[in-house]
Amino acid sequence: MTRIESLIRNIPDFPKPGILFKDITPMLGDAQALAEAVEALRAPYADHRVDQVVGMESRGFLMGPALAIRLGAGFVPVRKPGKLPAATLSESYELEYGTDSVEIHADAIRPGQQVLIHDDVVATGGTAMAATRLVQRLGGVVVGYSFLIELSFLPGADTLRAVAPVHSLMRV
């Protein structure tokens, strides 16, 4: 097991019964693992043009800006409804029970910009797909997805692969 893998903590039944929560905070708190993780996230895209890294609230905000700096890109937050102060676009996505939505600033991405979408964990892929639609509505081109952890018992990443390559540091 790598240093990064050994520092991802499994928390059963958080935030509700039946969920095995992947807690990345021990990895974030380890200087060597943190640096290795940023480099490993960057590696697949080192030779690509990435103009913007889009990170999803809230754990996509932890590594996203560091990844953006290493790629020479900007960082754009995708947030839960009502958090972004200027004009926004919104996209809804299905949950097990009901729907949720995410927002982006309407001027955050310029037409033709190449975008990498990042989060800590991909589960159903619903959040990343909603972010994809936001980027595309602004004229951006999703060139890839970058996750620390892919829950491979769910089809989320496969849905995203139809849009652009998916790179995950760990598949569990």
Binding site for ligand AMP (CB under 6 A): 19-22, 56, 59, 119-127, 156
Minimum distance of ligand AMP from residue 99's CB (angstroms): 12
Instruction: List the structure tokens of 58.
Output: 């809230």
Q: Which of 59, 79, 91, 103 is catalytic?
A: 59
Nearer of residues 54 and 56 to ligand AMP, judged by Cβ: 56
Residue 98 tokens read as 């009901």
- Residue 8 Cβ, how far from ligand AMP at the closest point, in Å? 10
Q: In the annotation, is 96 catalytic?
A: yes
CB of 124 to ligand AMP, least distance (A): 3
For residues 141, 145, 151, 153, the Cα torsion angle rounded to the nearest 10 degrees is 50
The single residue of 49, 91, 96, 171 carrying the catalytic annotation is 96
Distances in Å between the Cα of 61 and the Cα atoms of 1, 64, 99, 153, 170 are 26, 5, 22, 25, 19
- Tell me, yes or no, if 59 is annotated catalytic: yes
Active site residues: 59, 96
